[in-house]
Amino acid sequence: MAVIVCTACSKDDDNPEPISKELDGTWVRTMHNNIEYDMEITFAGDSAVFAKLSNDSGWNMPLNKGFISLGTSAKFKDIVRTTDTTWTCSELWHSTWDGSTYWRAAKITMKADYKTFSVTAVNVSDTYMRKTNQIRVE
């Protein structure tokens, strides 16, 4: 009989499945400028790419102007873990005037439940949740 131990996972009473303590996987931004669930991003290794945008997302201007593309353009890059629940990175932002993009330093902080994290950069903070079947960008 084989025993499998997930050293990078956690469990809670509501979810008998292990919850990864890593960023890898798909996450949904929960709220930005009063728009709920406007973006999905997928983390893999030291970066995360735009996976899906809602019709209301402010990122549609950079997408339509060709500054970003879904599935290949990074939203986060150079991600480095600094503690069990924090990472430093560069986060892509865009101009609301012309859609052009630029990088800025950011900090990712995972919540204790490993289901949500916040990203803080220049006094702006966004929250992301692990993607589930119940939470989707439409």
Q: What is the pLDDT of residues 77-99, one digit of tens each?
A: 999 999 999 999 999 999 888 99
Q: Summarize the confidence of residues 54-80 as an average pLDDT.
A: 94
Report the pLDDT averaged over residues 8-21: 55
Q: Are 29 and 127 in contact (CB under 8 A)?
A: yes
pTM: 0.81
**DSSP result, the chain:** ------TTEEEETTEEEEEESS--EEEEEEEETTEEEEEEEEEETTEEEEEEE-TT-TTHHHHHTTS--TTTSEEEEEEEE-SSSEEEEEEEEE-TTT--EEEEEEEEEE-TTSSEEEEEETTEEEEEEE-BTTB---
Mean per-residue pLDDT of the chain: 83
Domains of the chain: 20-130 (2.40.128.520)
Q: What confidence score (pLDDT) does residue 117 get? A: 93
Q: What is the pLDDT of residue 125?
A: 84
Confidence at 60, pLDDT banded by 50, 70, 90:
very high
pLDDT score, position 79: 97
pLDDT of residue 74: 97
